[in-house]
Structure 1
Amino acid sequence: MKATVDGEWRSPVADAVGLKWGIPAGALRYWRSSAAHVFVLPPQGDAHSVLYARFAPAGSTAGARLERGAQLQARLSDADAPVAGLVRSGEGRPVELVPTPLGQVAACVVRRVDGEELDTDGLDAGAAAAWGGALAGFHQAAGALTSAVPQQQANVFARLMAHPDQDLREAAQILTLLTERLGPGPNVLGHGDFELDNLRWSQGRATCFDLDECGLMPAATDVASAVRDLLGSTPDVPEHPELLDAFLAGYQQSCGLAVTLEELQVHRAALSARQVLEAPAILDLDATVLEATGNGWLKELNDSLAGHYEDQRNIVLSTAQALAQVE
């Protein structure tokens, strides 16, 4: 993708996507790449105001997640749930499979969500409670659509028991027993990444976007994913205990479900374990490619990802150790 973007931040790949939505060639400008490539249509580019074209390779995990999330986002938007609006293509679809110079991609176009972006440093107990209530509201709005979304892959700790790292295997055994004792809890159609950077606030109401991680999951899994920054990296001592308590109180008040700290710890460890299992495929790059001239950015990215996955490994190990001591 980087090689297709010119000095004006345009790309023929984005142009191919834009055509499906009637966006003129050259109007979309590169914004960023993470789970998906994102190009922005500035306010002057279209009567729709600011739009974001998001796409990922069709047939890839990222492409499948984008397609699933866009379909759910469209259904929730049609039901007037507080999610970012999707612009349907010229053929009336919320997501398209588009042939491009780099191959077929799954693509959607999302409207910008106006409002305030909150972060942990600027959060107080009232805002944290509203955040928890907003996640409960998402679960309630999505509840009627659960049959339309597949369940996330389960038994992540069982899969981790086959890992070559002995420490991880032993941690997985401990966490499997804890998971069985706690039970799965009620399932919800979860957002999967209801963190503050995926929300915008207006008059105390949150609107969410980036539903790529959505799926049927235990409610505690979605809560644990949302509050990762409040939990921090030390499993037995939350980094922001007052804000975490307020979030959980807001969630319980809105939907009637209490989520305990122990449940959050185990489900957050499961999220980390899933990333540990995905790491080898993500980091599988030939050393000659990483060291090639002009690929310094790629080596930097690979090193950053390796550090991230090491952090996830440590969360799994430290959670198992802390909860085993409690037992």
Structure 2
Amino acid sequence: MDDRYDERSEAEQIDALRPIALRAADAFGLDVERMEVVLHAYNTTFAVDAADGRRFALRVGTNSHSTLANALAQQAWVRAIAEQTDVVVPVPLRTPDDRWAVEVDAPVLGRAALVTIASWLDGDDADALTADAARALGRTMATLHAHAAGWSLPPGGALPRFDIPLFGDEDALDRAPGLSADDRSVLTLARARTGEVFERLHRGARLRPLHADLHGGNLKWREGRLAVFDFDDAGLGLPALDLAISAFYLRADDPVQEESMIEGYAEVAPLPRIGPADFEALVAARQLLLANSLLVTTTADLRAQAEDYTRVSVARLRHWLATGRFTRALPDASV
């Protein structure tokens, strides 16, 4: 098969990634008995059952911009969280020669694929956050922020800075298909307004590691406690940004969930000091980042959603620009 990876079906993409995952598992010293895909989205995760009975989550950085230095920092932080806090996280695996990640030659992607492995995290999905779960998320987030404030990057480790709305990603919003001139003006204004807020808030600010993707898809309930996984989006930013990112995912639901998250955070640490308008801009910036991400992804199912999602994004951003309040709960904007 010689067609481009981003033009293949989801099943064809997964089949192309499977040999890469197997080579990575071998580099980590695993004798694979069974391997199945559990998620093919921004990245691709395989559940790996080893011959010795252990189970692992193997993640191929299908669309990830993480470098080896980033992976070193991510995995070292997760290990420190496991050892120094009560937050439940998967335990990262090292290779026999003590590496946190491997790069596997992947001609199908046109580059090497970064692969990490961690212990399998059992538990119930936390996709739909109840008020109690949202409160637990707030407490967990505050614990992560408090730990990050006193944690130092390991030698050779690095994390990206999240001090601009698109986090340094390629800006593809100008070439989004199917938009009117008015739609494009909404995106231009939203980028300018969020960019001004990011620039002002980060002026002279002290940044710390953030998970930067704390939503139900990256959470599980395990033995009555909320567990956190997928630190691939971790970077250096302001604690308020983590709260805003999580708030984005709660804005289609009952306000009590976001209120509960804030209350849970305050139970553990003082809330970040930020004005309401600036916080709304951070929430809206998440919409820009996600819309942009779908426009540049190689994953088949996500690419198919990109045009519709851009139109939904414009509607939400237009509402924010007009009212000062970001919401995902708009008529005809439910994607």
TM-score range (shorter-chain normalised) is 0.7 to 0.9
Residue from 209, 216, 238 that aligns with 1:218: 238
| In 1: Cα distance, 2:306 partner to 2:187 partner | 19
TM-score (norm. length: structure 1): 0.75
In the alignment, structure 2 segments of 5+ residues that lack a partner are 6-10, 176-183, 326-335
Evaluate the alpha carbon distance shift between residue 188 and residue 114 of structure 1 in structure 2; reply closer, same or farther with a 3 A threshold: same
Residue 304 of structure 1: aligned partner: 305
SS at match of 1:27: strand
Residue 266 of structure 2: aligned partner: 252
Deviation (angstroms), 1:246: 1.3
Task: Give CA-to-partner distance per residue, 1:162-213, whole Å, 9 cap, x none.
Answer: 9582232233444455667777776331101111221222354322110111
Q: Which amino acid aligns with 2:318?
A: L
Evaluate the alpha carbon distance shift between residue 320 and residue 48 of structure 1 in structure 2; reply closer, same or farther with a 3 A threshold: farther
Evaluate the alpha carbon distance shift between residue 152 and residue 90 of structure 1 in structure 2; reply closer, same or farther with a 3 A threshold: same
SS at match of 2:236: strand
Residue from 62, 65, 69 that aligns with 1:61: 65
More displaced, 254-263 or 130-139? Answer: 254-263
Q: How does 1:1-327 map to 2 (within 5 A)?
A: 2-3=11-12, 11-24=18-31, 27-42=34-49, 45-47=50-52, 49-56=54-61, 61=65, 69-79=74-84, 82-100=88-106, 102=108, 104-120=112-128, 123-124=130-131, 126-145=132-151, 147=153, 149-156=158-165, 163=174, 165-176=184-195, 187-232=207-252, 239-258=253-272, 261-278=276-293, 280-282=295-297, 298=300, 301-323=302-324
SS at match of 2:122: coil
Q: Which amino acid aligns with 2:251?
A: L
**Which structure is higher in helix share?**
1
Evaluate the alpha carbon distance shift between residue 171 and residue 93 of structure 1 in structure 2; reply closer, same or farther with a 3 A threshold: closer
Deviation (angstroms), 1:19: 0.8
SS at match of 1:307: helix
Deviation (angstroms), 1:140: 1.5
Give me the CA root mean square deviation.
Answer: 3.6
Verify the 8 A CA contact 2:61 2:113 in the aligned structure 1: yes
| In 1: Cα distance, 2:202 partner to 2:35 partner | 47
| In 2: Cα distance, 1:311 partner to 1:207 partner | 31
Evaluate the alpha carbon distance shift between residue 254 and residue 48 of structure 1 in structure 2; reply closer, same or farther with a 3 A threshold: farther
Task: Give CA-to-partner distance per residue, 1:84-141, whole Å, 9 cap, x none.
Answer: 1111112121211223564522111111112332243x613x3322210011111112
SS at match of 2:37: strand
Verify the 8 A CA contact 1:95 1:106 in the aligned structure 2: yes
Percentage of identical aligned residues: 17
Deviation (angstroms), 1:156: 3.1
Evaluate the alpha carbon distance shift between residue 190 and residue 171 of structure 1 in structure 2; reply closer, same or farther with a 3 A threshold: same
| In 2: Cα distance, 1:70 partner to 1:309 partner | 33
| In 1: Cα distance, 2:312 partner to 2:282 partner | 16
Evaluate the alpha carbon distance shift between residue 183 and residue 98 of structure 1 in structure 2; reply closer, same or farther with a 3 A threshold: closer
Deviation (angstroms), 1:282: 3.6
Residue 288 of structure 1: aligned partner: none
SS at match of 2:161: coil
Verify the 8 A CA contact 1:35 1:62 in the aligned structure 2: no
SS at match of 2:151: helix
SS at match of 2:138: helix
Verify the 8 A CA contact 1:83 1:207 in the aligned structure 2: yes
Higher relative contact order (CA 8 A, sep 6+): 2
| In 2: Cα distance, 1:10 partner to 1:277 partner | 24
Evaluate the alpha carbon distance shift between residue 177 and residue 104 of structure 1 in structure 2; reply closer, same or farther with a 3 A threshold: closer
